[in-house]
Amino acid sequence: MSSIYMIQGKKIVTVSKLGSIENGAMIIEKGKISEIGDRKILRKRYPSIPLIDCSDSVITPSLIDCHTHLLEFAPSSLYPVTPETHLLGGKAILFQTLSAGITAIGEQICGHPLCNFSIEDYRHAVIDLPLDISFATTSISIGFEHLAHFTSITKSSKVNKNDLIDPVLVKKIAQASDYPGENIFINATPANFTKIEVPRAGEIIYTLEELKQIVDIYHQLGKQIGAHVAGENGIKMALEARVDVLHHAHGISDELIKEAAKQHTKIVATPLGGTHLGPNSPEEILKLVENDISVSISTDSYLPPYKGTSWLPFQDDKLKGPDVLMLIAQPAMKLLKKNQYDENDILALITANPANVLGKEDCIGRLDKGMDANFLVSDGIPGLEITEIEKLKQVYFRGVKVIDRTNNK
């Protein structure tokens, strides 16, 4: 691929201050966007550089899933891997992620009984892949009858509740974390277990005082902290302790929404499930947006779809991956459209807002001068107008076409 080229589309939904540009084009130079605007004007300015003509397609930023468990938990759930092939299975999953139009993920490393890998092992495994991966190192508490606690630092060895609040260990976890993922589990998680297996899912693990001390450790290191949290009591504690990002926030009340807005707390909604409570409904996501909260929609995959919602289209119990991001985001995105929100603001839920959670808002998630050339060529606006990954014709990562569905039909 040429180091400089122009690409034009029927429309570019930039998710930047430029909004949507009909008959738009971008100049891509060395993996970045050097110009963006009207295609006739840009062609005049750059008459002889190679042109990629996508005049029948929509161009948008590529998607960002800022809460995933693809490298640690998913390989052994999906494939018959051994420790020797675990990370190879993980790479297969990452390829599927990329082919679903997602070029950046926020990946959680929690500690896992079957995986004795360190955070460095995971970082090393993905170093040359055409994907922007941020890691959140975390501790995790699983709601078995005897609660099971793990941390990314202690890997496959179980730890005690007291270890979770040990300032030395908390500091190590915080230092290794790239971004505020679900660094701590305020409530015990059901993970992917059935209700009978995890009777204590939802139980609050920390006192407010303990929570405040953990948050302080992150903040003293200049890091933001995110928490897995659901239910009014847990969310109230998270806000009082000044947690920066609430992951899930299932069951958030109107009053707590107001409080989160006041504190500029970001929320990562997971409409597929992920806690002991019913997941975020489209109406709840609308309410968060109406209160000017920065909301991201994320898959938390791989997860079995929560049963009993009216908005999830799944009829089976199969684990769902990042390829359902558009599908699970669509009900909320359509509801926002119905409420007169601009398509750029709507698309931000799976592009610019998660980029902001990852702390990479100056590089990815929007199409504008100087940003990484990570974009999709599609039949429509991802999530809002299309949900099938087959309609994502091409995926570009830093200016390079990494997925192409146009010539293998």
For Zn ion, which residue of 300, 323, 343, 372 counts as binding (CB under 5 A)? 300
Nearest-5° Cα angle at 341, 336 to 344: 105
Size of the site for Zn ion (CB under 5 A): 1
For residues 182 and 243, give the distance between their C-alpha atoms in angstroms, rounded to a whole number: 10
Q: At its nearest, how many Å lie between Zn ion and the CB of residue 15?
A: 25
Residue 300 or 323 with smaller CB distance to Zn ion: 300
- Residues sharing a CB contact under 8 Å with residue 352, sequence separation 6 or more, in sequence order: 15, 16, 61, 361, 365, 366
Q: At its nearest, how many Å lie between Zn ion and the CB of residue 109?
A: 11
Binding segment for Zn ion among 84-92, 169-177, 213-221, 293-301 (CB under 5 A)?
293-301
Q: At its nearest, how many Å lie between Zn ion and the CB of residue 123?
A: 19
Q: At its nearest, how many Å lie between Zn ion and the CB of residue 247?
A: 7
Residue 284 or 300 with smaller CB distance to Zn ion: 300
Buried b (16+ CB within 10 A) or exposed e, 228-265: bbbbeebbbbbbebebbbbbbbbbbeeebbebbbeeeb
Residue 192 or 213 with smaller CB distance to Zn ion: 192
Q: At its nearest, how many Å lie between Zn ion and the CB of residue 228?
A: 6
For residues 170 and 175, give the distance between their C-alpha atoms in angstroms, rounded to a whole number: 9
Residue nearest to Zn ion (CB): 300
Residues 223-242 that bind Zn ion (CB under 5 A): none
Residue 29 or 65 with smaller CB distance to Zn ion: 65
Q: At its nearest, how many Å lie between Zn ion and the CB of residue 51?
A: 42
Binding segment for Zn ion among 145-153, 190-198, 295-303, 304-312 (CB under 5 A)?
295-303
Q: At its nearest, how many Å lie between Zn ion and the CB of residue 274?
A: 6
Q: At its nearest, how many Å lie between Zn ion and the CB of residue 65?
A: 11
Q: At its nearest, how many Å lie between Zn ion and the CB of residue 202?
A: 15
Residue 191 or 312 with smaller CB distance to Zn ion: 191
Tell me the residue type at 352. Answer: A
- Residue 107 contacts Zn ion per CB under 5 A: no
Binding segment for Zn ion among 91-99, 112-120, 297-305, 360-368 (CB under 5 A)?
297-305
Binding segment for Zn ion among 30-38, 76-84, 216-224, 292-300 (CB under 5 A)?
292-300
Binding mask 349-368 vs Zn ion (x if CB under 5 A, - otherwise)?
Answer: --------------------
- Kindly list the distances between the CA atom of residue 317 and the CA atoms of 75, 80, 94, 205, 312, in Å, as whole numbers in the listed order: 18, 19, 22, 28, 12
Binding segment for Zn ion among 31-39, 53-61, 296-304, 385-393 (CB under 5 A)?
296-304
Residue numbers at the binding site for Zn ion (CB under 5 A): 300
